[in-house]
Structure 1
Amino acid sequence: MLRRTTILAAALLLATGGIAHAEPTTLRLPTPTGPHRLGTTMLHLVDRDRTDPWNGTARELMVTVFYPASTVRGYPVAPQLTPAAAAVFKGLDPVYLHPELPDEGVDWAATATHSHTGAPAQPIPRPVLLYSPGGADPRTIGTGLAEELASHGNVVVTIDHPGETSEVEFPGGRVRTIDVPGDPRTDPELFRTMLDTRVADTRFVLDRLVDLAAGRNPDAEARALPENLGRALDLRRVGAYGHSAGGATVAEALHEDRRIDAAVNMEGYLDYLPEQPGQEGELLPVARDGVDRPLLLLGTDGFRDERFERTWAAMLAHRGCTRREQLDNATHWVFTDYGAQAPQLQDAGLMSAEDRAKLVGAIDPAESVPAIRDHVRTFFARHLPR
């Protein structure tokens, strides 16, 4: 038996030019816990009244809609990343993404969602939740939480902010990568422009959902929409949640747009960058003035600095409608799909324990995934009642 195994191994080495290539790892998304099967579709939205600050054209966005489906039979399961998006995502400069992620060994295009492309929506008006991702992260890295919320009876709309997102694929296979002329994390003017653009993007998406609920098709190419999608939107109940820069985005959008009834900020700073090093940044209007609708500040014990504590304390000082909750043994990107996928990478030998801890913390996904889901789901269930 040993001789036979040795011969087979030698044959494999000869067939591969002396190197035995392992199959790339396929990552999994956590299964949604709600009672509803899910449909999904993408919309290409163009704001011809607004100039994109990064490339000078009309501002265009891509969004994904997740919703309870009336049937999924015959409708294919959507991938987390399309092949074109996955190819770009894999090859991007880690300075703008995460140096903890492996350069090789992952088939980023192979991860399946639990949502079925184009499935008809249940014709029942449901709360609408908008999602804004962190800086440089694509909307697709928030798929797991979006599916969880949709499976419990919400319509979830995840938004990309092109130009400062790692990759955005538009109809026809066109992929746009990061083209911000600098680093918004260190340039005060770029950061302000980025945040203002994100808030405007969020409000524009809400405008287009109003069109969709009224029976109009907001897609720039007028592509066919899933049956009953517009009827599934109850725009009297709108929430927004976001991570990092997306958390700041939805908090400020809550302050600026009264159509948004409640928001969850997952570890977003609530100020602009200071003009000079060593100074304190100007508080965002939401933290300066407060807000009269519910805002949840959801953080971890592993993401802390003076700026973070100062801006969240300013928000909490207004009392009343804002509260803070914390996840322990975790850090910043645990709120994204990496919270479930980084441990898979570690188990596959593609990520060290140290890098996993830097990215999401040492917390077990069996604890972090349900905890985050419960925080966000119960918050919206309480403040956007059915």
Structure 2
Amino acid sequence: MGDTGTDRRTVARSVAVAASVLLFGGTAGARAAAEAGSAAAAGRGLVLRLPAPTGPYPVGVTTLYLVDRARRDPWDAALPVRELMVTVLYPARTVRGRPRAPQMTASAAESFAGLVPFRVHPELPDAGVDWAATLTHARVGAPALPGRRPVVLYSPGGGDARTLGTVVAEELASRGRVVVAVDHPGDASEVEFPGTTAYRRDPLRPTVLRGDPRRTDPALFRTMIGTRVADLRFVLDRLAVLAAGGNPDAAGRALPEHLGRALDLRRVGVYGHSAGGTAAAQALHEDGRIAAAVDLECHLDHPPEAPGRPGEPFPVARCGVDRPLLLVNTDGFPDRRGLEASWSAVFARPGGRVVRRRLDDAAHGVFTDYAAMAPRMQAAGLMTRAERIRLVGAVDPARSVPAVRGLVCGFLDRHLTAAGRDARD
């Protein structure tokens, strides 16, 4: 029985290696293959699994490398452009013969595991998890299902990578939406690009964050949110190129068949977690192309400049919104008082387009893949019950995963369908 378990882990890693090569290609793909081979030989570490999506469609996946030449990178003065990596998940016509994509490539997993001293989530174990072995349910490069479909952008939490929002993103795609998960390099824990450039010598870019900037550096938090909003708007610009039949990938990599034809940019939503939730709400305020937004537990004001003073509201809270905005929080959020104060501002504005929901027995990380992963790590003895509760709460993933999926998918489905009717009228 022991040999069988090892063989299964080896097969999983082999599939992840093949998918890494297809997703990233070139130098990054070759390096991922070599490193994953070493991990397979070691044969150690808990292999975490993600819950399967429940929608009727199989899911395809690809990545896009996007370069905004009109902006310098705000985190690294040596970078004259703003580079982004995004993952596109979409309903697939067929997934036959297509490998499952890894949640993280081997290089990204190695970088992620090495961030323990600076990690935003100190509850995670220092060792014992094979982060490179987790497979998603999306199939690399599968042809897109014909037909224009709503587009949903995702912005992850501060210090998190887009890969940690796979559970909700796959659910949306399996229900017939095109999901574009956006990494914010410099902020994200790690971002792997398809190769090097004259101004960036490593395909892998780690985070510059050393803790939560909302608590430690108000100016840095301001930069983070402003950058994220600009990133989201730029991604929408490049998706317009894709929908028009062009290839926005800055490396000119091949796209899955019919992907551009799957985008209906008259129906665009955005959701985000933590800092990504603030960015999603503010992007709704700034960009009329966005029909609805979901803020998964983050403030709508800047951090106070001094203790005891209120923070300056973001424009979305100061001015209100004329399109639907969902605010979701947990009963385990540490700064409930500050969150309530910032959210009350947007509720005070006329229009009635803002609604809110709460998850009980839950904590801030419940909106991410950790909702499913943390109980497994606790069961394996890699995380204490107290650490699990601080990260995701005591709620069972059999309840929390469907609840988060249902809130995000239900809200966006309802309002993007309405946006489509308005566009036709």
Q: Which residue of 2 aligns with 1:46?
A: 67
Q: Which residue of 2 aligns with 1:206?
A: 236
CA contact (8 A) 1:63 1:160 kept: yes
Aligned counterparts of 1:375 and 1:54: Cα–Cα separation in 2? 33
Q: Which residue of 2 aligns with 1:33?
A: 54
Aligned counterparts of 1:269 and 1:94: Cα–Cα separation in 2? 26
Aligned counterparts of 1:217 and 1:325: Cα–Cα separation in 2? 39
CA contact (8 A) 2:147 2:261 kept: yes
Runs of 4+ deviating beyond 4 Å: 180-183
Deviation of 1:94 (Å): 4.0
Q: Which residue of 2 aligns with 1:301?
A: 331
Q: Which residue of the other structure, out of 117, 129, 133, is the alignment partner of 2:156?
A: 133
> Structure 1, unaligned stretches of length 5 or more?
1-20
Aligned counterparts of 1:181 and 1:354: Cα–Cα separation in 2? 23
* Counterpart residue type for residue 48 of structure 2: L
Q: Which residue of the other structure, out of 287, 297, 320, is the alignment partner of 1:257?
A: 287
CA contact (8 A) 1:182 1:190 kept: no
* Counterpart residue type for residue 80 of structure 1: Q
Q: Which residue of 1 aligns with 2:371?
A: 339
Looking at secondary structure, tell me which structure has more helix per residue: 2
Q: Which residue of 2 aligns with 1:91?
A: 114
CA contact (8 A) 2:45 2:128 kept: yes
- Provide the secondary structure at the position in 2 that maps to 1:204: helix
* Counterpart residue type for residue 131 of structure 2: W
Instruction: Answer yes or no: is 1:273 the counterpart of 2:303.
Output: yes
CA displacement 1:58-109 (0-9 Å, x = unmatched):
0000000000000111111100000000000011034333111111111000
Deviation of 1:50 (Å): 0.4
**Identical counterparts, % of pairs:** 63
* Counterpart residue type for residue 399 of structure 2: E
- Provide the secondary structure at the position in 2 that maps to 1:105: coil
Aligned counterparts of 1:174 and 1:294: Cα–Cα separation in 2? 38
Aligned residues: 366
CA displacement 1:262-295 (0-9 Å, x = unmatched):
0000001101122223211100000010000000
- Provide the secondary structure at the position in 1 that maps to 2:322: coil
Q: Which residue of 2 aligns with 1:373?
A: 405
Q: Which residue of the other structure, out of 151, 154, 177, is the alignment partner of 2:174?
A: 151
- Provide the secondary structure at the position in 2 that maps to 1:210: helix
Deviation of 1:22 (Å): 8.6
Q: Which residue of 2 aligns with 1:351?
A: 383
- Provide the secondary structure at the position in 2 that maps to 1:212: helix
- Provide the secondary structure at the position in 1 that maps to 2:361: coil
Q: Which residue of 2 aligns with 1:6?
A: none
* Counterpart residue type for residue 338 of structure 2: R
CA contact (8 A) 1:165 1:177 kept: yes
Q: TM-score, normalised by structure 2?
A: 0.84
Q: Which residue of 1 aligns with 2:6?
A: none
* Counterpart residue type for residue 123 of structure 1: P
Q: Which residue of the other structure, out of 230, 241, 244, is the alignment partner of 2:260?
A: 230
Q: Which residue of 2 aligns with 1:65?
A: 88
- Provide the secondary structure at the position in 2 that maps to 1:129: strand
> Structure 2, unaligned stretches of length 5 or more?
1-41, 196-201, 421-425
Aligned counterparts of 2:260 and 2:136: Cα–Cα separation in 1? 22
* Counterpart residue type for residue 103 of structure 2: Q
CA contact (8 A) 2:119 2:211 kept: no
Task: Pick which of 21-30 and 98-107 moved more.
Answer: 21-30
Q: Which residue of 2 aligns with 1:221?
A: 251
Aligned counterparts of 1:62 and 1:22: Cα–Cα separation in 2? 30
- Provide the secondary structure at the position in 1 that maps to 2:164: helix
Aligned counterparts of 1:47 and 1:262: Cα–Cα separation in 2? 25
CA displacement 1:230-253 (0-9 Å, x = unmatched):
000000000000000000000000
* Counterpart residue type for residue 154 of structure 2: Y
Q: TM-score, normalised by structure 1?
A: 0.92
CA displacement 1:111-131 (0-9 Å, x = unmatched):
000001111101210000000
Aligned counterparts of 2:83 and 2:213: Cα–Cα separation in 1? 20
Q: Which residue of the other structure, out of 161, 169, 178, is the alignment partner of 2:207?
A: 178
Taking a change above 3 Å as real, the CA distance of residues 109 and 182 of structure 1, as seen in their structure-2 partners, is closer
Q: Which residue of 2 aligns with 1:17?
A: none
CA RMSD of aligned residues (A): 1.5
